[in-house]
Amino acid sequence: MLGVALMAALPPAGAGAAKPSPYEDLVIYLPRAHEHANRNVLGFEVMPGRGVAVAYTDESDREIANDRGVAYAVRIPKALPGGRLDVRFPGLGRLVGRVSLQGTGRSWPGCGTRNSEGGRFIGRIEFRGAGGYGRWTGRRASVSRFCGLPYVTMPKTLPGYLDDLGPGFHAGSDGPFSFLQASDPRGHGTGVLFIAGIYGRGPEEDIDFAVYDYEWLGGGVAAMRWASREGVPRGDLFEIAPGGQRPASATIRPPAPFSGEATYSRKDRSLTGNLSVHLLGRAVRIAGKSTGAFLSNSF
């Protein structure tokens, strides 16, 4: 089953400026056939007002709290005449077809006076994830369009449009909490971000691990691969040296899909070791000489 939501938002206007024209976001959600809705999912966000389209694949198995996927962003023209879509991700796939609104005879785009209305998408979706991660096809979809709030700011680079995708992380939750973040920027908006957090203390404590890897693919496509494990029993997977809120060191040994271990040093603000992760066709080194880190330990 293929579902589509079409969402509209107004860009912010300066003081005394004329009311800006609306622009729409088209969101398309395509689960794999015969699979649970949270597993092997393909989604699209087409944003002509911002000249960007994003495709994302997601695989979640909630029984073991394991999530992984890839997102891709590409530039598109800032117009979709007559509701016609022709969005291409070089080397990955294409979304081509038409969106029309039911009961009005109007074609998308155009928010009109309604806050929301239904419609349909007819066309063709063909997509495959880089690294051999799945293939998807589709021809028809239902559409729901909503007029929403404006984005306060827009990312300056394509990788910035990927930041809201991937697993969530409930840092700052109530109760005792330890939080480690490490990053290795490679320039031009790409790099590796690793996050680990301990929740609670004693027999109720558990850990979340997440990693995000940004890269550029051929054809001007920005990509972000992610993986996470949630609710993992602490055991010896995250050992923190004594030292109150700012301990001198810690050792991290995440479970699969991670491998190896890493050591955090407050003195050097670093994360070193052989910690790595396999992200859907790409092996990523997390810890190293250029990886900066910080650790906050609350009680």
Over residues 43-93, the pLDDT tens digits come to: 788 777 778 888 888 776 555 567 788 899 999 987 767 778 899 999 999
Dihedral angle of Cα 126, 132, 133, 136, to the nearest 10 degrees: 20
Name the band, by pLDDT with cuts 50, 70 and 90, for residue 7.
Answer: very low
Contacts of 189-192 with CB under 8 Å at 24 or more apart are 189/157, 189/158, 189/159, 189/160, 189/214, 189/222, 190/159, 190/214, 190/215, 190/216, 190/222, 192/284, 192/285, 192/286, 192/291
**Which residues sit opposite 273 in a β-bridge?**
262
Q: Are residues 24 and 134 in the same domain?
A: yes
pTM of the model: 0.79
Mean pLDDT of 252-257: 93
Mean pLDDT of 177-182: 91
Q: Are residues 107 and 36 in the same domain?
A: yes
The residue from 128, 159, 190 where one domain ends is: 159
Q: What is the pLDDT of residue 258?
A: 94
CA distance 221 to 206: 36
Over residues 213-244, the pLDDT tens digits come to: 999 998 999 999 998 888 888 889 999 998 77
Contacts of 23 (CB under 8 A, 6+ apart): 8, 9, 10, 11, 47, 48, 49, 50, 109
CA distance 22 to 13: 11
Q: Are residues 65 and 122 in the same domain?
A: yes
Residue 120 belongs to a domain: yes
Residue 42 reports pLDDT greater than 70: yes
Q: What is the pLDDT of residue 6?
A: 28
CA distance 71 to 225: 6
- Contact assessment for residue 82 and residue 165, using Cβ atoms and an 8 Å cutoff: no
Q: Are residues 257 and 113 in the same domain?
A: no
Q: Are residues 9 and 134 in the same domain?
A: yes
Q: Are residues 109 and 23 in the same domain?
A: yes
Residue 155 belongs to a domain: yes
Mean pLDDT of 161-186: 77
The residue from 139, 159, 179 where one domain ends is: 159
Whole-number percent of the chain with pLDDT over 90: 30
Residue 182 belongs to a domain: yes
Q: What is the pLDDT of residue 114?
A: 52
For residue 50, give the DSSP letter. G
Amino acid at 168: G
272 by DSSP, 3-state: which? strand
Domain range for 275 is 169-297
Q: What is the pLDDT of residue 212?
A: 94
Q: What is the pLDDT of residue 268?
A: 94
Mean pLDDT of 177-189: 89
Q: Are residues 227 and 147 in the same domain?
A: no
Q: What is the pLDDT of residue 183?
A: 95
**Which residues sit opposite 192 in a β-bridge?**
184, 213
Residue 117 belongs to a domain: yes
Q: Are residues 177 and 73 in the same domain?
A: no
The residue from 159, 177, 193 where one domain ends is: 159
Q: Are residues 88 and 228 in the same domain?
A: no
CA distance 231 to 237: 12
Residue 164 belongs to a domain: no
Are β-strands 23-31 and 84-89 bridged in parallel, bridged antiparallel, or unpaired? unpaired
Greatest mean pLDDT among 12-16, 170-174, 179-183 lies in 179-183
CA distance 269 to 107: 55
Higher pLDDT, 211 or 67: 211
Q: Are residues 211 and 146 in the same domain?
A: no
CA distance 283 to 53: 26
User: Mind giving me the DSSP string for 196-265?
Assistant: EEEESSGGG-EEEEEEEEEEEETTTEEEEEEEEEEEEE-TTSEEE-S-TTS-SEEEE---TTEES-EEEE
Q: Are residues 12 and 98 in the same domain?
A: yes
Q: Which residue is it, tokens 């971000």? A: 193
Residue 275 belongs to a domain: yes
CA distance 173 to 71: 27
- Contact assessment for residue 146 and residue 9, using Cβ atoms and an 8 Å cutoff: no
Mean pLDDT of 2-19: 31
- Contact assessment for residue 259 and residue 252, using Cβ atoms and an 8 Å cutoff: no
Residue 79 belongs to a domain: yes
Q: Are residues 141 and 283 in the same domain?
A: no
Over residues 79-132, the pLDDT tens digits come to: 767 778 899 999 999 989 887 766 554 444 455 555 566 667 789 988 888 765
Residue 43 belongs to a domain: yes
- Contact assessment for residue 28 and residue 2, using Cβ atoms and an 8 Å cutoff: yes
Q: What is the pLDDT of residue 205?
A: 82
Least confident piece of the model among 31-40, 121-130, 199-208: 31-40
Q: What is the pLDDT of residue 164?
A: 80
Name the band, by pLDDT with cuts 50, 70 and 90, for residue 169.
Answer: low
Count of domains forming the chain: 2
Instruction: Name the average pLDDT for the chain.
Output: 76
